[in-house]
Amino acid sequence: MIVFPNIKINLGLSITEKRPDGYHNLETVFYPVALEDALEIRTLPEAEKKITLHQYGMEIAGNPEDNLVAKAYSLLDKEFHLPPVEIHLYKHIPSGAGLGGGSSDAAFMLKLLNNHFHLELSEDQLEIYAATLGADCAFFIKNKTTYAEGIGNIFSPIELSLKGYQIMIVKPDVFVSTREAFANIHPHHPEYPVKEVIRRPVAEWKDTLINDFEASVFPQHPVIGEIKQELYNQGAVYASMSGSGSSVFGLFVPESSLPEIDWKPDTFCFKGKL
């Protein structure tokens, strides 16, 4: 059985408060985009190890046992005593990009195991498991445009379609740790709440739909801010860093053709249509 975990981009991201548990309350819109990994499992009834993980494509930092797909398996294995599996994970989604690639792999693994082994878990139950694996992991269970608050785990559906828009996602060879990005933030309530700005036409988002991480991350990694500026220079109607970085996305109006840009070596670039 094979599935294709996709990414999310953040449309606006306000960090409103630091909580007593060290986490931060935030407000954002998660929007799914079809840049995908591939994830396959096969049952290996006779295997000695519960998980045999084969990884291909882009490298991920860390040990295989720390891979979020292994953690997702272990979570359900504790409860349901699953048979051993062989996992094939093909990474197309860059890590440390603010695109939620690891969280998506984990959420899709939960869904895959649920279907493959007929565990009969509901979407609500899967979301509860997913939330224990990462703050934005539960989003990928329903995988629909979502307004998120709390630590990024309290969801409400939101009507928003960017269908037809063209998207370019660019990630320089820079790794931003989510934890460090939070450490440099001064939480505040936004002048223009994300939920309100998002209802306005995309052409009005440029100065009002803000990702608070940009103010803390751009000074440390100027190349990220330069990419955002270049996307605007090349005609993007809206451009922003996604999540805590380091990727930047640009939205271009539906009838336009995406520009050819010579990015620096080792820059990742994805072009697609929403």
Ligand X SMILES: C[C@@](CO)(OP(=O)(O)O)[C@H](O)COP(=O)(O)OP(=O)(O)OC[C@H]1O[C@@H](n2ccc(N)nc2=O)[C@H](O)[C@@H]1O
Ligand Y SMILES: Nc1ncnc2c1ncn2[C@@H]1O[C@H](COP(=O)(O)OP(=O)(O)O)[C@@H](O)[C@H]1O
Q: Give the x/- contact pattern for ligand Y in 65-94, rule: CB under 6 A.
A: -xxxx-------------------------
Select from ligand X, ligand Y, none the partner in contact with residue 101, using the beta carbon and a kind-dependent cut-off of 5 to 8 Å. ligand Y
Q: Is 102 annotated as a binding residue?
A: yes
Closest CA to 38 of 79, 1, 2: 2
Binding of ligand X at residue 98 (CB under 6 A)? yes
Q: Binding to ligand Y (CB under 6 A): which residues in 93-152?
A: 95-103, 105
Among 3, 11, 26, 69, binds ligand X (CB under 6 A): 26
58 CB-near residues (< 8 Å, 6+ apart): 91, 92, 93, 94, 95
**Which residues are 240's β-sheet partners?**
249
- Taking the least distance from each CB to ligand X, the nearer of 82 and 153 is 153
* Residues in the chain, overall count: 274
Does 150 carry a binding-site annotation? no
Tell me how far apart the alpha carbons of residues 132 and 56 are, in angstroms, rounded to a whole number. 26
Q: For ligand X, which is the closer residue by CB, 137 or 174?
A: 137
Q: Which residues contact 144 (CB under 8 A, 6 or more apart)?
A: 32, 157
Print the binding letters for residues 128-167 with ligand X: x by CB under 6 A, - otherwise: ------xxxx-------------xx---------------
The correct pick among 182, 249, 252, 268 for binding ligand X (CB under 6 A) is 182
How many C-beta atoms lie closer than 10 Å to residue 99's C-beta? 26
23 dihedral zone (left: phi>0; alpha: psi -120 to 50; beta)? beta
Instruction: Enumerate binding residues for ligand Y (CB under 6 A).
Output: 60-62, 66-69, 95-103, 105, 178, 243
Residues annotated within the binding site are 94-104
Q: Catalytic residue positions?
A: 8, 136
